[in-house]
Structure 1
Amino acid sequence: MIRNIAAGVQSFTSNAFLVTGERCVLVDTGSNFDAVDKIEELADGLDAVVLTHTHPDHVGNLETVKDAFGVDAYGFDTDQPGVDLAIADKEPVTLGDNDYLALHTPGHKNDHLCYYSESAHVLFAGDLIFQNGSFGRTDLEEGDRDTLIESIDRVAATTDEKLQEMHTGHGPSVTTNPHHDIELASKAARMY
């Protein structure tokens, strides 16, 4: 089961998805709310934190969560504060009961990863792609529009029409034809 523990939080935060099952994992920790309390309400412990990227709104609660549950944080770049173990491009990662493929998708931030499960038909898109064809900012440090477009195209080529859920770093998850939103983002990023 996938639940956004940041849902309803009224302060600036990213979404933070608790994926329960055989391996209980938090995808991003969010910031400015009590993530530990939310996790304890929904799960009997935590096995790991997996990051899409290390912008402050995605990792603000990282140290608190790591300390509370005694877990490591996985991300693309172990030179980033709080990232204990590296996930390489195309490396398999188990979230809940399903295996996901890690995709290195820079453009919004150099260490950005998306996670795609072909068997579960689920994508964790981080801040690369959002609902209705929106896409990640490229005006921040490490942002690059051409690289972002390449990353969106890579996700579009990796996923297909069978994709059922796209969980994004901000805003609502997409559960109606999310592959269409990925294709829209590819077009929109080229226009604006």
Structure 2
Amino acid sequence: MGNSADIISDVGWVEVTKPNLQFISIVKKNQLKFARGFAIAHNHSMKASQDTFSGYQVPESVKSLLMQAVDNWENTAIADEYMNQALAEAEAYPDILVAAYRYFYYKGNNPMALQMAEKILATVKRAENLPDDWEKLKPILTIRRQEPQIRRYLNAYAATGFILAKMGEVQQAKAVTEKIQEIDPESEFGASIVLDILTR
């Protein structure tokens, strides 16, 4: 992506291309700036405004750290420091995990992006008391998939499939995308696109 990025939104995520099984996610609709503000402007002059993270349910000190990560985007070492500080202070907050997932994804740090997506899954699973067994989980996700917490779970689960594909873990990526497709035949979460590419 070089120094610019299209940003994953909370809904209608993904259009996928396949150069050597390296998957690049692009916003399909409802574009949002990364973490409602994390994006690299094409003119390299992105700055965070005071209301960039106004909707985030995190302490003000954490919002300040996120803004510093935005403002230092082009200096990855410094931006990483601010993001890691934000995580250290507020990892229990779902919004910070989403922000961190997007941050690491667009920094090309796939292992960390995967870790954040998995933490989102664990957070929602715990909050909603979701079962481990897929056959029990599947009808719950299907019935409740329009609920914000369940949508967050599905987006995070789909994200693990995209990242695994980028990392060359094709069989694991297929297993994830096949499950998502079972409850998302219209591919709102983009899994069928990835699965089609993986099975060609």
Whether the TM-score (by the shorter chain) exceeds 0.5 is no
Structure (1 or 2) with the larger CA radius of gyration: 2
The structure, 1 or 2, with the larger RCO (C-alpha pairs under 8 Å, 6+ apart) is 2
Shorter-chain TM-score bucket reads 0.3 to 0.5
Q: Considering fraction of residues, name the structure with more helix.
A: 2
- Greater share of residues in strand: 1
